[in-house]
Structure 1
Amino acid sequence: MRFLSALIALTLIGTMAALSNARAGDVKIVKAEASQAADKTWRFDVTLLHADTGWDHYADLWEVYAPDGTLLGKRVLAHPHVNEQPFTRSLSGVEVPDGTHEVIIKARDSVHGVSPQEFELKLPR
C-alpha cells in the first residue's frame, strides 16, 4: 500500500512539473518604461524573464505596437541570456504617432514563438 501511495505521489509530482515547464516556456515581460527624446522619438526599456537554455531556446525578440496593431519598433535579441535573468534591453528612435497614449509590448522566444502576454504601457506624455 505504501508503495502504491508513493508511486501515485511521484506520478502527480511529475505531471505537475511537466505542466509547470510547459507554461514556463513563454517569455514574461516583467517591466517596461518609455521616455521621449528631444527629437520626439521614444526610447523603450523592456525587462524580460525567460528560462533561456542556450542557442537552442532563448528569448530572441520584443516588439512595440500601437493600440491599432501597427508595429512601431522591434528589438532583436542577438544571443541567449542564460546567466542574466531577468534582463533589460533598450530600443531608441521609435516613432509613436501623436495622440497615442499607450503601446503594447509583445515578446518572443526561439521555440514557442510570441508569448500570449501583452504588456500595456501608458506613455508619459
Structure 2
Amino acid sequence: MMETPMPRPLIPALALGLLCTAPLWASPSVIETAEAQRSGAGWRISVTLSHPDTGWDHYADGWEVLTPDGVSLGTRVLAHPHVEEQPFTRSLGGVRVPEGVTELVIRARCNLDGYTGTPFTLRLPY
C-alpha cells in the first residue's frame, strides 16, 4: 500500500510569505536634508525628516548622529508625533566630532519600527 503525503499546512506558508513582504508595507522615516554649523567647540546638527506619523501609536521618535565607522556622537529624541507638520526640522547642539572626521552619518527611527530607511551622509563644511 502506497502512503499519500500529508498536505503542507497553509497557515505557516502564508505567515512566512507575509513576514518576507512586511518591509514593503512599512514607510520608514526619511531624512530629507541635514546641515551642520560650528557652534563653540562642537557642532549644531539640523535634520529635516518626514515620516507618516499617525499619532502616539506610530511616529518618528528620534535621530542619531554617527561617525562613518558607527560611533554614536549624539541622539535627538523627538518627544511627540508630528502628524500635521511634515516634513519637520529639529536640531541637536554640542555634537563633538573627533578630529579627522569629515562626514557624519545620520539615521532616523520611529517608535514602532526602530531604525529604518536609508542613512543620510552629511559632509562637514570645514
Relative to structure 1, the CA distance from residue 123 to residue 56 in structure 2 (aligned partners, 3 Å threshold; closer, same or farther) is: same
Structure-1 residue corresponding to 2:123: 122
- TM-score, with length taken from structure 1: 0.80
Structure 2 unmatched ranges of 5 or more: 1-21
Tell me the distance in 2 between the aligned counterparts of 1:87 and 1:22. 23
Which one has a larger percent helix, Structure 1 or Structure 2?
A: 1
Percent identity between the aligned chains? 54
The unaligned stretches of length 5 or more in structure 1 are: 1-18
* Count of residue pairs brought into register by the alignment: 106
Tell me which residue corresponds to 1:83.
84
Amino acid of the structure 1 residue aligned with 2:97? V
Q: Does 1:95 align with 2:96?
A: yes
Contact map agreement 2:104 2:123 (CA 8 A) in 1 = yes
Bigger Rg, structure 1 or 2: 2
Provide the aligned C-alpha RMSD in A: 1.8
| Among 19, 22, 28, the residue aligned to 2:25 | 22
Conservation of the 8 A alpha-carbon contact between 2:48 and 2:90: yes
Secondary structure at 2:28's aligned position in 1? Answer: coil
| Match among 34, 49, 54 for residue 32 of structure 1 | 34
Residue 46 in structure 1 maps to residue 57 in structure 2: no
Q: TM-score, normalised by structure 2?
A: 0.79
**Are the equivalent residues in 1 in contact too, given 2:61–2:109 (CA < 8 A)?**
yes
Aligned to 2:81, what secondary structure does the other structure show? coil
**What is the Cα deviation at residue 20 of structure 1?**
9.9
Runs of 4+ in 1 over 4 A off after TM superposition: none
Task: Note the alpha carbon deviations across 1:22-73, whole angstroms, 9 max, x for none.
Answer: 14x2100000000111x22000000010000000000001000001110001
